[in-house]
Structure 1
Amino acid sequence: MKGKLLIYLLLIVASGAYAQNSKFSFIDGKLLLNNKKSYESGKPEAKNRVGELLKLADKLLDAKPQSVMDKNFTPPSGSKHDYMSMGPYWWPDTSKADGLPYIRKDGLRNPEIRKISDREFLGGMEGKCKALSLAYHFTGNEVYAEKATQLLRVWFLNPETKMNPNLDFAQAIPGINDGRGIGIIESRFLADLTDWVTILRASKSFTKADFDGLQSWYKDYLSWMLNSKNGKDEHKAKNNHGTFYDYQVSAFALFTNQDALSKSILEETKKRILVQIETDGKQPLELARTNAYSYSTMNLEGWFKIALLAEKLNLDFWNYNIDGRSLKAALDYLIPYALGKEKFVYEQIGSYNRKDMEFLMLVASDKFHNQAYISEYRKVEGHSLELFNALLCSRL
């Protein structure tokens, strides 16, 4: 009996190893461990949700690892190891024989962007690692951690396939440039990825050499973001690009044990609230877009992740208020439109996905101590929470 108890205690310690060894960027480690206990104790909701997760993760076990080397184009540097993409809202100028230079049509995505696979494959790699790392967390089954580790090695570590730590050629505009700072928003997946890596640190499959190599890659990429022309340009962006730039660099600094740098970045981030959010909660820079409500929601998601990260460094963004300008004000303004209670008064040329509000409403219910947020959302949606929001943001 004592032997079984000791083994059980060792398993608990191992499952929580990531919580002691490093900080998450935006997820709640205590909540994640609580939901694992709910699953292990057989609570129906937890069993059902983890069952969904395992079905998804099992399908990924045979997935072929993808890398920047898989694209059919070579960046101007001459190396496929460099990430490459094209600006999504730029189209050929039909008045020109060669279509150059391309012209901007905000909100209208040019299908040409799909010809360059780096952006899609980067997002896909992050999504697969999320499912696999969480499957490992809930079950302790090394097969999931081993697969996630394989994907990470191919993208970041293997000499023949690894991505160089820069986005020099992201969101290029044909006839105008080979890449620009705006493209850095495409690497926001890498900030979330630090959390899935943190979970994997408890695994035997993900070795110290893997972590050290990945951490070194992130240090190099962070240095590029802070010192390159593209990085400096994106830092100056006043809208959602500036928000997600700050989320990335603060997350990367935290992940690479540069807490003081992360904290100093976040202190500067607070000043963006004065520029981005009005006293009535409007986000004017996002409302000026042709998909005003989609961009307002996206930007607020960036802010919420920043606020969650800031908590790890004992900074409070939830109650930060400049003359009525606050994250809560921005959310309260958006809710009636996003949930269909009031008609859109700003331009929204594309469809608006109300599921994008789910993460915000779940987090707001907790951080603003008001369950009305999520209860109102559930009334409008009328169906269960998205899988990862249920596992990461709600108590099972």
Structure 2
Amino acid sequence: MKKITITFILSLFGLATFAQEAIKKQAVAILKNQILTEAAWAMKQAPITVTAESSPLSTGGKHDFFSQGDYFWPNPANPTGPYINRDGQSNPNNFVAHRKAMIRFSTIIGALASAYQLTGDEKYVKRSLVHIRAWFVDAETLMNPDLSFAQAVIGSATGRSWGIIDTIHLMEVAQGIIVMQKAKSFDSSILLATKKWFSDYILWLNTSKNGVAEKLAKNNHSTCWVMQVASFAKLCDDQPMLDSLRWRYKNVLLPRQMAVDGSFPLELVRTKPYGYSIFNLDAMTMICQILSVKNDNLWDFETADGKSIKKGITYLHPFIADKSKWTLKPDVMFWENWPVAQPFLLFGANTFKHQNWFDTWKELELKPTNEEVIRNLPIRHGLIWM
């Protein structure tokens, strides 16, 4: 006999959304104080953009985002020559000021948008505009809408396609604007200029050599390309782009990256298989959250051989709930810092009315402070996405 569950009973009466709303209400209750505390901090912050600090290693200009490849180090056999790769081992001496500024920007807008969503107080919108103007509008402080000089490698590359992953931290900026854009105090000229910036960046991501290479990557990089382009295209209401991304998820990302058991083989062979599996599942989950529409629900999509986002969450959840069950070697770095309150648990629980996944999420670290974790956790303000 089929097990009778609360969700099943609710579905009989057309009330399945009640259970979903219950998950969201639990999340609000847990996060409310944290959101308001972080928003109070954000209200006091002045803008810091890429123009505040520069690196002599960058071949770009004042307004160009610059970062260095995380896993590249000086060669002991040739200290003044090109850097060499140590997969999974982050070089602490790299220039990361622009990345930190972007993460800070994301944190500020995410916090202010969350507080506005909770309270309706437009003071949060007004303060957000100060930062949005600085990053996207003000000629003195704006960032150019491309990533030509991201994750450079000394001696071999002034910028690489892999660096495009750095702008995953603009996603909560874009989503925060979506949440706040209809507020009376949201300056229409700033909104127009900001959407133009993101539209220009979408064009660069789809036409530049580095952008196309990242799109065609075979692992989490292509997942993150789709995830962030989806976020930016949603802000710009670019329906043809959104349609193309739904197609890409169903026909390229999911079938090529997921195994039939729900794992990601390309991540499992890395030196940080646990962290990268989490990261890629978070990204695919957010693709479903951003792109799903009534007539094309990616949450329900399943390939001919049974691959689906639900299977991915089902596969990884036991290793999140009990890390000791992980069957591979520990990650070479930051093994002790994962997991945290992963987005795939929150959004998966909310979508599939899965209380157990939510219970795991709420027991994990809700506000991580480790820089490597934050670098790989672009979604840190879950309520603005729900």
Q: Do these two structures clear the TM 0.5 threshold for a shared fold by scoring above it? A: yes
Q: Which residue of 2 aligns with 1:274?
A: 255
Alignment of 1:324 with 2:306, yes or no, is yes
Alignment of 1:126 with 2:84, yes or no, is no
Any gaps of 5 or more consecutive residues in structure 2? 1-19, 369-379
Alpha-carbon displacement from aligned partner over 1:4-58 (angstroms, at most 9, x marks no partner):
xxxxxxxxxxxxxxxxxxxxxxxxxx969x86xx9xxxxxx95774333222211
Alignment of 1:227 with 2:194, yes or no, is no
How far did residue 116 of structure 1 move? 3.8
For residues 384 and 283 of structure 1, do their structure 2 counterparts lie closer, same or farther at Cα, with a shift above 3 Å needed? Answer: closer
Question: Given residue 319 of structure 1, which amino acid in structure 2 is its aligned partner?
Answer: D
How far did residue 310 of structure 1 move? 1.9
How far did residue 377 of structure 1 move? 5.1
In 2, Cα distance between the equivalents of 1:78 and 1:307?
35
Alignment of 1:83 with 2:54, yes or no, is no
Q: How does 1:93-172 map to 2 (within 5 A)?
A: 93-98=75-80, 100-113=81-94, 115-172=95-152
For the 8 Å contact 1:89–1:106, the answer to whether it is kept is: yes
How far did residue 175 of structure 1 move? 0.7
In 2, Cα distance between the equivalents of 1:69 and 1:224?
21
Alpha-carbon displacement from aligned partner over 1:68-91 (angstroms, at most 9, x marks no partner):
111232575551101110000100
Alignment equivalent of 1:68, drawn from 30, 47, 50: 50
For residues 255 and 313 of structure 1, do their structure 2 counterparts lie closer, same or farther at Cα, with a shift above 3 Å needed? Answer: farther
Q: How does 1:166-181 map to 2 (within 5 A)?
A: 166-181=146-161
For residues 336 and 92 of structure 1, do their structure 2 counterparts lie closer, same or farther at Cα, with a shift above 3 Å needed? Answer: same
For the 8 Å contact 1:87–1:173, the answer to whether it is kept is: yes
For residues 358 and 261 of structure 1, do their structure 2 counterparts lie closer, same or farther at Cα, with a shift above 3 Å needed? Answer: closer
Question: SS of the residue aligned with 1:232?
Answer: helix
In 2, Cα distance between the equivalents of 1:170 and 1:260?
28
Identical aligned residues as a percent: 30
How far did residue 205 of structure 1 move? 3.4
Question: Given residue 71 of structure 1, which amino acid in structure 2 is its aligned partner?
Answer: E
For residues 68 and 318 of structure 1, do their structure 2 counterparts lie closer, same or farther at Cα, with a shift above 3 Å needed? Answer: same
How large is the Cα RMSD of the aligned pairs?
2.7
Q: Which residue of 2 aligns with 1:349?
A: 332
For residues 372 and 262 of structure 1, do their structure 2 counterparts lie closer, same or farther at Cα, with a shift above 3 Å needed? Answer: same
In 2, Cα distance between the equivalents of 1:337 and 1:354?
11
TM-score by length of 1: 0.81
Q: Which residue of 2 aligns with 1:12?
A: none
TM-score by length of 2: 0.83
For the 8 Å contact 1:53–1:131, the answer to whether it is kept is: yes
How far did residue 254 of structure 1 move? 2.2
Q: After alignment, is 161-170 or 243-252 more displaced?
A: 243-252
How far did residue 170 of structure 1 move? 0.3
How far did residue 375 of structure 1 move? 3.4
Q: Which residue of 2 aligns with 1:365?
A: 349
How far did residue 234 of structure 1 move? 0.2
Q: How does 1:255-266 map to 2 (within 5 A)?
A: 255-266=235-246
For the 8 Å contact 1:294–1:352, the answer to whether it is kept is: no
Alpha-carbon displacement from aligned partner over 1:256-285 (angstroms, at most 9, x marks no partner):
121122112221221221211111112101
Q: How many aligned positions are there?
A: 351
In 1, Cα distance between the equivalents of 2:79 and 2:309?
48
In 2, Cα distance between the equivalents of 1:142 and 1:368?
33
Alpha-carbon displacement from aligned partner over 1:355-376 (angstroms, at most 9, x marks no partner):
4354222222232333232235
Alignment equivalent of 1:303, drawn from 274, 277, 284: 284
Q: After alignment, is 369-378 or 245-254 more displaced?
A: 369-378
Alignment equivalent of 1:375, drawn from 359, 364, 379: 359
In 1, Cα distance between the equivalents of 2:29 and 2:96?
39
How far did residue 317 of structure 1 move? 1.8
For the 8 Å contact 1:53–1:135, the answer to whether it is kept is: yes
Q: How does 1:5-16 map to 2 (within 5 A)?
A: none
For the 8 Å contact 2:65–2:144, the answer to whether it is kept is: yes
